[in-house]
Structure formats: structure tokens, C-alpha cells
Amino acid sequence: MHLSITMATQESTSVNSSRRTAQEILEDVAHSGHKELHRSSRALGFSGLAGGMTMGLTGLAVAIVRALLGPGANNELISQLFYPVGFIAVIIGRAQLFTENTLYPVVLVLEDSRHIPNLLRLWGVVFATNVFGSMLFALLMTKTSAVEPKVMETLAGLGSNIAAQAFARVLWSGVIGGWLIALVAWMVTASHWTVGQILVIWLLAFVVGVGQFSHCIASGGEIWCGVFTGDVSVKQYFVWLLPATVGNIIGGVTIVSLLNWGQVRAD
């Protein structure tokens, strides 16, 4: 009896740790999307607010390390190693993040267009609360003594540099940023273990940070810090937000959702 239980456990472990097919990943993505679409707007709002505030950790982690190490190309590279912190906290913590959790319902829409109104509701609630959450993060950083002045100066400087980018640069880098973060969602679904999920998130989010690819929420906290310190105007923030968001949607929906859905349905 003991031997049979052991063998069954080993067999179960072997099955659970096997590499998933694209069909299996798509089915899990669709299942997650179904659950997300059926959450209330209030629940989505609270989760989106938490996601927006927590994403501020991306810029904060980079600013702390950069303030400690000082200027220099090598130090900038080292600081970007900590950029994925916010993504890890949000995704593993199951908070709502525009371009990550919002990827899942797109698969359902590709299967049945009747889900479009609910998808737009989810997108709208999560996007608005993510933006508001990033603003609250910036208020905490700039209007309290939570961080050292040098860190605050570095954080606001990061936001100023991001907001100063040209429209076309923000748009096209946003396409790549949206592609990478939506790919995170796909890869996390394919991963069995939390450690593997963290590694996937870190690797892909690091590329977003070190490549300075636009993400409409991840960089929002830094830019809002620039707004509250007077280095960036509110108009500059929204001029940046528009192409970043459009680019993220294009990259996430077309490159990840559509192509991965297509490869399964083509079979």
C-alpha cells in the first residue's frame, strides 16, 4: 500500500512538473480570463488601486540603488536589476495590472465577441485605478518624509526623463513593453512553481527596465513624482500616457494574445 501511494505521488508530481502544451496554456489563460470578467467592479477597483501603488516599487527600487551608487553606466545597469520588484509583487500577489491580468479576457473575446462590453468594463476600471494608485504612491513619496531627499530627487529625475521622450519613441517602445509584460502573463501561466514564475517575471521585466521600454503604469509613479515636485507638468504626463497606453495595448493584444491564440486555433 505504501509503495503504491509513493508511486502515485511520484507520478502526480511528474505530471504536474511536465512542460505544458500551448493548448493547455491557452485553456488556463481562458479560465483566468473568465474569472476576471466575472469579478465585480468594486473588487477590480480595490485590486487595481493596490496594483497601481505597488508598481511604484519599480521606480523606487531603481532610485534607491542609483542614489546609493551614484552616476555611471555600470551603476545604472546594476540599479535596473531591481526594476522587476514591483512587477513581482503585483503579479505574484495577484493584484490587477493593466496589460498583465487584462490580457487573459482578450482570449475570451477572440472566442466570443459577446464578452467585449465586459472586457471594456474591466479595462476601464483597472486602468483608472492603476493610474490613481500610481498617483497615490507619488504623493506618499513627495509629500511625506518617507524617503531620503536624495532618493526623492533621483525618483523625480527618472520621471522627468521618461516624460521628456518623443511621442513616437513612447508609442513604439510601448509596443515592445506591452509585448513583454503580456508575455509575462503567458509564461507565468505556463509555469508550475512560484520560484519559476518569479524568475520569468524578473527576466522579462528586467528587459523592460534596462531597455527603457514604455509601460503605462510602471513608469506612472515616477512621472507623478516629477509632477508633484514641479519638474513635470500634468499635461506632459497625459501626453506621455496616451502613446504608452496605446503601444502597450497593441503589443499585448496583437503580439501575445492574437498570435498565441492563433497558433492553437490553427491546429
Query: Which value, to the nearest 10 degrees, does the dihedral of the CA atoms of residues 37, 120, 253, 20 take?
Result: 0
Domain 22-265 -> CATH class: mainly alpha
Question: CB under 8 Å to 98, separation ≥6 — which residues?
Answer: 48, 123, 126, 127, 130, 216, 217, 245, 248
What is each CA distance from 239 to 33, 109, 168, 243, 246, in whole angstroms? 30, 29, 11, 7, 12
Cell 513581482 appears where?
Answer: 88
Instruction: With beta carbons less than 8 A apart as the criterion, state whether 227 and 121 touch.
Output: no
State the DSSP string of the chain: -HHHHHHHHHHHHHHHTSPPPHHHHHHHHHHHHHHHHTS-HHHHHHHHHHHHHHTHHHHHHHHHHHHHH-SSHHHHHHHHTTTTHHHHHHHHTT---TTTGGGHHHHHHHH-GGGHHHHHHHHHHHHHHHHHHHHHHHHHHHSSSSS-HHHHHHHHHHHHHHHTS-HHHHHHHHHHHHHHHHHHHHHHHH--SHHHHHHHHHHHHHHHHHTT---TTTTHHHHHHHHHTTSS-HHHHHHHHHHHHHHHHHIIIIIIIIHHHHHHHT-
What is each CA distance from 233 to 153, 158, 223, in whole angstroms? 16, 14, 9
Full-model pTM: 0.87
Residue 128 pLDDT? 97
- pLDDT tens for the chain, residues 1 to 267: 443 333 343 434 444 557 777 777 777 777 777 888 889 999 999 999 999 999 999 999 999 999 999 989 899 999 999 999 999 999 999 899 998 766 678 877 777 788 889 989 999 999 999 999 999 999 999 999 999 999 999 999 999 999 999 999 999 999 999 999 988 888 888 887 899 899 999 999 999 999 999 999 999 999 999 999 999 999 999 999 999 999 999 988 777 667 767 776 666
